[in-house]
Amino acid sequence: MKFSESMQKLDRRYIYIVLAIAVILPLVFPIGFKTYSTTPVEDLYRHIDAIAGRDDMAIIMDFTHDPGVMPELYPMDLAILRHCFERNIKVFTISFLPQGAAIIQLALSEVKEDYPDIEANIDYCNFGFKPWGLKLPIMLGMGDDIAKAVETNSEGLKLENLPIMQDIKNYDNIQVVVEISGSSMGQFWVTYARAKFGVDVAVGLTAVMAADVYPLLQTGQFIGSLGGLKGAAEYEQLVDIFAMNGQEFSKKKARNMKWVEQAYKNIPEKARLYKYNKARIGMDAQAIVHVLIILFIILGNIGYFLEQREQKKKYMK
Amino acid sequence: MKRQIPMMIVLILGLLFVAHVFIPSKLSADYLDWFMKWTKVIGPFAIVLGVFSLVLVHYNKIKRKAPNWGYSIVTLAALVITTAVGFIWGIQEGTPYMWIFKNFNVPLGATMFSLLAFYIASAAYKAFRARSIEATVLLVAAIIVMLGRVSIGQAITHWIPDITEWILNVPNLAAKRGIALGVGLGMTATSLKIMLGIERSYLGGKD
Amino acid sequence: MTETIGIWIAAFLTLCMFSFLYKDNPFYKFAEHLFVGVSMGYYIPYTFYNAFLPYAYEPLFLRKDYILIIPFIIGILYWFRFSSKFSWISRYPIAFSMGMVGMGVPMSMHATVLVQMRTMMLPLNNINIILIFIGTISILLYFFFSKAHEGVYGKFTSIGIWFMMVGFGASFGYTVMARISLLIGRIQFLLGDWLGFIK
């Protein structure tokens, strides 16, 4: 078999092994690549951070995603919740998928471990699962009265009686709805809640969909977005260097890598926990594998062109 | 009776919703309130459909002893046990229900989708060919984005992340907007077709 | 203890799934069927506690809002879907929920078409906005099939193809990223949570 032919017919299982090694090695021996931040992530961070310490404003996090996309989206869930708990920002969680509701519980319990003073129904409230078919009635209903539209939290308690709802009535008290999903659910929030009530919407998406949201970012229909593991890594970093250091957000500082490195030296111990760094640790492997995939594309094309040339030669003979 | 009345319901409710959007008034607000209240009662019943369909498919497989019917027992047993655990111990954090979620559902779901990484790597080697100029442009854009989204791109030159941002914010934006406008018009047209009874597939059945 | 058992079970199931990479086998099939069953097991309890009790049972039976017996009955009609003779009855609750499409007509027109068009017609005062404008128009014309793509018109529509190729390339690059991230998540679990190699 000729070289070009053997290149074309390489057993896919060799490719699998090379890929697995390329993922494993950087995870076991971290390289420590730095993450640079991008505008859509910075915009969302700044927008959420603007209501730090306010009782009359909150954010809504919609976890309409299932375990299939958790490696990409769960670090976002943790990073945003950590930002809220650290900066005393009220947060509501909801999901229109039952597995999403279970993910909310996992995420809340994981972040709460490090914030013992944060209390359910005072600092945050989990609305829990609401059936998919009720998403529009609930989205629209919250424009008038959140307590009336959602009615009960995940424990079955009436929202109207909860302390967190005292100063919060409707979307006027919602700084942003952050839709974290692997679907086009964010579009529903834009089409109905934003168009009718003007509430700001942002998304945390799987990377597959990240390129699709740019038209909505330009129009301002999404005020920010986190795209895949990279977006999660950026948000993790912003929380560490600003929120965990008790600093106000500054775009200039966020993009100054020397300042970022300095800021990391001062962060508290709990920010160094593995669970809060998963996306950034993963980005090391991501970088190596991207190079590998590019090599695969180039090698595959070299094999293809060599084969084409040989076939042409044969034909000429 | 079988088709006409449901279609009339869709048309009337649909027109009232159009009016609700264009004519804000107490009446239209009351209409939305009423609709929400009723939909919230109706909605939960629909969930049973999906679950029961799954039970029916696997029950029939077991009954007919179809190929691999033994695995259907696994599916049904998992469904019954998970549901029962949810009802017996509740669904809050710290319950066995959440333990099953964390240790069964999460690894199974996440790993199933992670298999795609291997297939895309294999496809990168075996299928992504620069067969034409258009395909070459696609591959070059993909390679720039792949490099620009990770720190290696930044380490090579700051131009790579900058070009990536430009690709996403200009040609990508134009492409996605062109497609999105078509999709938006399509969505509006489909909604209209449903309302006017031209599109009826959601009703199911033949008669 | 339960935590450790859980991690070992999760690791075993992860490896069962990965075994498919070698070839289809009983371990994979077992894991796949288990996944379907367990996933569906989250629908009924969650719906019961988070939706049926607060939205249907409580208002009707505890607060005695008897008018809600009508939607309660309409909801039950869904279940006729499984009767070969009376499945048409299930169309009533479906029709009721479909009523909201009326809202979708103006709202989706506004959010997905009008707002996008308005932004496209911004003052064309810099090169990028001009490029976005040309790209969008050429793509829209490319999908307009009532006129043959010939001559100057054909050349202009072909610009749309180049824009789309770059857009698809960007999506492809991101798709690679997404798939790899999912694998990284699972390897992080195996190496970190299970084997303890990552701290």
Secondary structure (H, E, C), C49-74? HHHHHHHHHHHHHHCCCHHHHHHHHH
Which of C14, C184, C189, C193 to mutate against chain A (most A CBs within 10 Å)? C184
Q: Which residues of A touch B24 (CB under 8 A)?
A: none
The structure tokens 């965990």 sit at A244
CB contact under 8 A, C197 and A19: no
Name which of C39, C43, C180 to mutate to probe chain A: the one with the most chain A Cβ atoms within 10 A of its Cβ: C180
Name every residue whose Cβ is closer than 8 Å to that of residue B100 and which is 6 or more positions away in sequence: B82, B85, C38, C41
Task: Tell me what pLDDT residue B161 has.
Answer: 93
Cα separations in angstroms, C99 against A95, A133, C68, C88, C93: 23, 12, 18, 17, 10
- pLDDT class of B95 with cuts at 50, 70, 90: very high
> Per DSSP, what are the bridge partners of residue A181?
A205
Residue C55 phi/psi, 5-degree rounding, is -95, -30
- pTM of this structure: 0.93
Query: Any chain B CB within 8 A of the CB of C69?
Result: no
Residue B124 within a domain: no
User: For residue A180, what is the enclosing H or E element?
Assistant: strand A174-181
To the nearest 10°, report the CA torsion of C125, C128, C134, C135. Answer: -160
CB-closest option in A15, A71, A99 to B121: A15
Query: Does residue B134 belong to any structural domain of this protein?
Result: no
- How is residue C81 annotated by DSSP? G
Question: Has residue B206 got a pLDDT over 80?
Answer: no
Q: Do the Cβ atoms of A104 and A63 come closer than 8 Å?
A: yes
Residue B49: which of C99, C100, C80 has the closest Cα? Answer: C80
A230-266 in b/e form (b: 16+ CB < 10 A) is bbbbbbbbbbbbbbbeeeebeeebbeeeeebeebbee
Average pLDDT, chain C: 93
For chain C, give the longest Cα–Cα distance: 74
Chains that touch C (3 or more CB pairs under 8 A): A, B
pLDDT of A154: 94
Q: Which residues on B lie below 8 Å from A192 (Cβ)?
A: none
Q: What is the mean pLDDT of each run of 10 residues along chain A (317 residues)?
A: 73 93 94 87 97 96 94 97 97 96 96 95 96 91 95 94 96 98 90 94 96 95 96 96 93 92 89 91 95 95 89 82
Quick check: is B13 in a domain?
Answer: yes
At A113 the three-state DSSP class reads coil
What are the pLDDT digits (tens) for B25-50?
999 999 999 999 999 999 999 988 89
d(CA C167, CA A226) in angstroms, rounded, equals 18
C142, C146, C147, C148: CA torsion to nearest 10: 80
Query: A129 CA to chain C: closest CA distance, Å?
Result: 6
Q: How many CB pairs lie under 8 A apart between chains A and B?
A: 151
| Spatial CA neighbour of C50 closest among A117, A153, A55, A188 | A153
pLDDT tens by residue, B109-168:
999 999 999 999 999 998 899 999 999 999 999 999 999 999 999 889 989 999 999 999
Structure tokens given for C173: 């690059």
Q: Which of A69, A137, A154 sits opposite B40 (nearest CB)?
A: A137
Distance separating alpha carbons of residues A174 and A158, to the nearest angstrom: 19
Do residues A62 and A185 lie in contact, with contact meaning Cβ atoms separated by under 8 Å?
Answer: yes
Cβ contacts (< 8 Å) between C55 and chain A: which residues?
134, 151
Tell me which chain C residues have a C-beta less than 8 angstroms from the C-beta of A72. 178, 181-182, 185
CB nearest to C42's CB, from B82, B143, B185 = B82
> What is the chain A residue with the closest CA to B158?
A36
Residues in A closer than 8 angstroms to C111, CB to CB, are 187, 190-191, 194-195, 221
Return the pLDDT at A1. 62
- Taking 90 as the threshold, does the pLDDT of residue B104 lie above it? yes
Q: What pLDDT does B207 receive?
A: 63
Residues in chain B: 207
Is B40 a member of any domain? yes
Portion of chain C with pLDDT greater than 70, in percent: 99
Domains of chain C, residue spans: 2-40, 43-99, 108-193
In angstroms, the separation between the Cα of residue B149 and the nearest Cα of chain C is 9
- Bridge pairing between strands A225-227 and A90-95: unpaired
* Positive or negative: CA dihedral C68, A150, A127, A183: positive
> How far is it, in rounded angstroms, from Cα A198 to Cα A213?
18
| Chain A CB contacts of B184 below 8 Å | none
CA distance B51 to chain C (A): 6
Which of B130, B146, B154 has the CB atom closest to A301's CB atom?
Answer: B130
C141-164 mean pLDDT: 92
The helix (H) or strand (E) run that includes residue A154 is none
Residue A22: what pLDDT? 96
Distance from CA of A295 to the nearest CA of C (A): 13
Tokens (6 digits) for A308: 């084409």
Q: What are phi and psi of B140, to 5 degrees?
A: -65, -45
- CB count in 10 Å sphere of residue A313: 9
Residues 6+ apart with CB under 8 A from A217: A40, A224, A225
How many Å apart are CA A291 and CA B152, to the nearest integer? 8
Domain interval for residue B66 = 1-89
Question: How much is the pLDDT for A11?
Answer: 86
One-letter identity of residue A187: Q
Q: Inspect the interface and report whether the beta carbons of C182 and B50 lie closer than 8 Å.
A: no
Closest CA to B148 of B138, B159, B139, B137: B159
Tokens of B84: 């029962």
CA distance A17 to A7: 16
Helix (H, G, I), strand (E, B) or coil at A178: strand
The tokens describing A97, both together, are 């998928």
Residue B57 domain flag: yes
Considering only CB atoms, B71 lies closest to which of C13, C30, C42, namely C30
CA distance C79 to A30: 55
Q: Does A300 touch chain B (CB under 8 A)?
A: yes
Q: Residues C40-50: pLDDT tens digits?
A: 999 999 999 99
Rounded to a whole number of angstroms, the distance from the CA of C60 to the nearest CA of chain A is 14
Q: Provide the residue type at B37 as one letter.
A: K
CA distance C99 to C166: 39
Q: Does B147 touch chain A (CB under 8 A)?
A: yes
- CA–CA separation, B102 and A102 (whole Å): 9
Q: Kindly determine whether residue C14 and residue B111, on different chains, have CB atoms separated by under 8 Å.
A: yes
DSSP secondary structure string, chain B? --SHHHHHHHHHHHHHHHHHHHS-SHHHHHHHHHHHHHHHHHHHHHHHHHHHHHHHHHHHHHHTT-TTHHHHHHHHHHHHHHHHHHHHH-SSTTSHHHHHIIIIIHHHHHHHHHHHHHHHHHHHHHT----SHHHHHHHHHHHHHHHHTSHHHHHH-THHHHHHHHHHHTHHHHHHHHHHHHHHHHHHHHHHHHHTTS--GGG-S--
User: Nearest CA of chain A to the CA of C114: how many Å?
Assistant: 11
Pairing assessment for the beta strands A174-181 and A90-95 based on DSSP bridges:
unpaired
What band does B66 get if pLDDT is binned at 50, 70 and 90?
Answer: very high
Q: Which of residues 132-171 of C touch B (CB under 8 A)?
A: 132-136, 138-140, 142-143, 160-171
Residue C190 touches partner B, C-beta closer than 8 Å: no
Q: Is the pLDDT of residue B201 over 90?
A: no
Encoded tokens for A95: 């999901």
Chain A residues touching C50 at Cβ < 8 A = 101, 128-130, 152, 154
In order of A5, A7, A303, A315, the CA distances from A311 in angstroms are 11, 15, 12, 6
Please check whether residue B51 lies inside any domain of the structure.
Answer: yes
Q: Which chains are adjacent to chain A, needing at least 3 Cβ pairs under 8 Å?
A: B, C
What are the chain C neighbours of B68 within 8 Å (beta carbons)? 29
Look at strands A58-62 and A225-227 and give their pairing: unpaired
β pairing state of A58-62 and A201-205 = unpaired
Contacts of A239 (CB under 8 A, 6+ apart): A45, A79, A82, A83, A86, A271, A276
Q: What is the pLDDT of residue B110?
A: 95
CB contact under 8 A, A133 and B109: no
Task: From chain A, pick out residues whose CB is under 8 angstroms from the CB of C119.
Answer: 215, 218-219
DSSP A91: E
Identify the closest residue of chain C to A140 by CA–CA distance.
C103
B99 to chain A: which residues are within 8 Å by CB? none
Chain A residues within 8 A of C53 when measuring between CB atoms:
156
Domain count, chain B: 1
With tokens 């996440």, the residue in question is B110
Q: Tell me which chain A residues have a C-beta less than 8 angstroms from the C-beta of B44.
A: 131
Partner-chain contact A187 C112, CB within 8 Å:
yes
Contact A71 C182 (CB under 8 A): yes
Contact assignment for A71 to C115 by CB distance below 8 Å: no
Predicted local confidence at residue A310, as pLDDT: 85
What is the C-alpha separation between B5 and A32, in angstroms, rounded?
65
